[in-house]
Amino acid sequence: MADYSNIPKDQRKLKSSLNEELPKTSECDIVENLIIGQSGGPSAVINASLAGVILELRERKFAGKVLGMQGGIEQYLAGQPPLDLSQYNDEQLHRLAHTAAAALGSCRVRLVEKDYDRLFSLFEQHQIRYFIYIGGNGSMNTSLRLEQEAKKRGYNLKCIGIPKTIDNDLYGTDHAPGFPSAARWLVIHTIDSGLDLLSMRGFDHVKIIEVMGRHAGWLAAATLLARSEISDPPHIVLVPELPFDEKVFLQKVAEVYEQVGCVLVVASEGLRNKEGKFLAELQAGIAIGRDVNGQALLSIGEGVSGYLTNLVIKELGLKARYDKPGTLQRSAACRSSIDLEEALSLGRASAKYLLEGMSGVMPALKRISNDPYKYAIEPISLSEITGRERVITSEFFKNQELDEAKIKEYLAPLIVPKPEIPFRFH
């Protein structure tokens, strides 16, 4: 056994559970354990869903162990022993729920055929009969494939996926946990950047803010909540759902600059031109790599913000600069209270579903009303989710632009507390 003599006593139990294999039991002493993992990009509230699962199972007197994959399925397959989550008390779980990013560690991996033998061997060794994965589109697909593989093998395994993605592109749910908090952070950042730019009119001309969103522009659209008046920043919001038109963009920049004296642009990283090419890939001398799913890594180099900044400087002769918040927008502890509540509730619902015998589903948010904001949680089949993305639909556009009123109606109830409207002299 490893020597933990130099580790403080209150930390030894955790260290031990991280590095020791779970005891094996005989066939006549089989128990039903649950394993849970986190996958994909972290968020401000993904740990709330994790805490919700543990709390619900505890209250329902779940007889088995609740085990956590450290580093997701990738590290579990690599031999990393799972962490016993049953050992933590309610005060610790409260702190977990209010901690940003993925406490168990995350991964991005696509399972291949050779992984299944190893994975189900580990499930058998650790007596896993329940599987929960918290994540986005890829994670829901993984949960579905595991359920299908278990049925094919005749292995008793129930699988649930819990939604999480800041891009808000997960199909089947009104919105995804993590998105409202990331959106709130971006609204505040846009207000601050807008005030800074307005202060420097005459010296700074154009600012580009690049936000996440490969195919869905929800995060960029959310920055419209920073506007209290028509002339307020952001002056231009660009989303992937509308092909980028260079001529129209430059004309808008010139018009706003003439009227306001400065221009704040918010652009999704996944902007494409009319030919379907990512703007981020059009930078000379930049070779963009690919992730495990074969998708272009749009954050490499200057990205879309660099492309737009250079375009403004070259074609309009204006001073321009850009901000790339990058991963800051993902796990910033500037969370929405609604987001935290919903993430915790979805975790509880998933545990409830499993104990009621459900499998192959995801707990989804259904909006009941906006004012006051009310929601319900309902199960949706994972087979209905995979292979689909929730992009901004036509109802949120008007005259080939985002419909600000519709966007605000949808998003405002989710971003709580509402960022303060700044004071301005008129």
339 is catalytic: no
For residues 50-62, one letter each, b for 16 or more C-beta atoms within 10 angstroms of the residue's C-beta and e for the rest, the string is: bbbbbbbbbeeeb
166 is in an annotated binding site: yes
32 is in an annotated binding site: no
Segments making up each domain of the chain, as ranges? 9-176+335-385, 179-330+391-414
41 is in an annotated binding site: yes
The answer regarding whether domain 9-176+335-385 maps to CATH 3.40.50.450 reads yes
213 is in an annotated binding site: yes
362 is in an annotated binding site: no
Mean pLDDT across the chain: 90
| DSSP letter for each residue of 364-424 | EEEEEEETTEEEEEEEEEHHHHTT-B----GGGEETTEE-HHHHHHHHGGGS-SPPPPPP-
* Residue 390, number of CB atoms within 10 A of its CB: 21
99 is in an annotated binding site: no
Closest CA to 38 of 202, 244, 178: 178
Choosing from 167, 169, 232, 403, the catalytic residue is 167
The answer regarding whether domain 179-330+391-414 maps to CATH 3.40.309.10 reads no
DSSP label at residue 296: B
> Tokens in use for 402?
């985002």
**Long-range Cβ contacts of 29-32 (<8 Å, 24+ apart):** 30/127, 31/63, 31/64, 31/65, 31/127, 32/63, 32/64, 32/127, 32/129, 32/130
272 is in an annotated binding site: no
Closest CA to 413 of 329, 341, 328: 341
Predicted confidence (pLDDT) per residue in 179-235, tens digit: 999 999 999 999 999 999 999 998 999 999 999 999 999 999 999 999 998 889 999
pLDDT in tens, the chain (426 residues): 333 333 344 433 333 333 344 444 444 455 799 999 999 999 999 999 999 999 999 999 999 999 999 999 999 999 999 999 999 999 999 999 999 999 999 999 999 999 999 999 999 999 999 999 999 999 999 999 999 999 999 999 999 999 999 999 999 999 999 999 999 999 999 999 999 999 999 899 999 999 999 999 999 999 999 999 888 999 999 999 999 999 999 999 999 999 999 999 999 999 999 999 999 888 644 545 544 445 554 455 578 999 999 999 999 999 999 999 999 999 998 999 999 999 999 999 999 999 999 999 999 999 999 999 999 999 999 999 999 999 999 999 999 999 999 999 999 999 999 999 888 886
pTM for this entry: 0.89
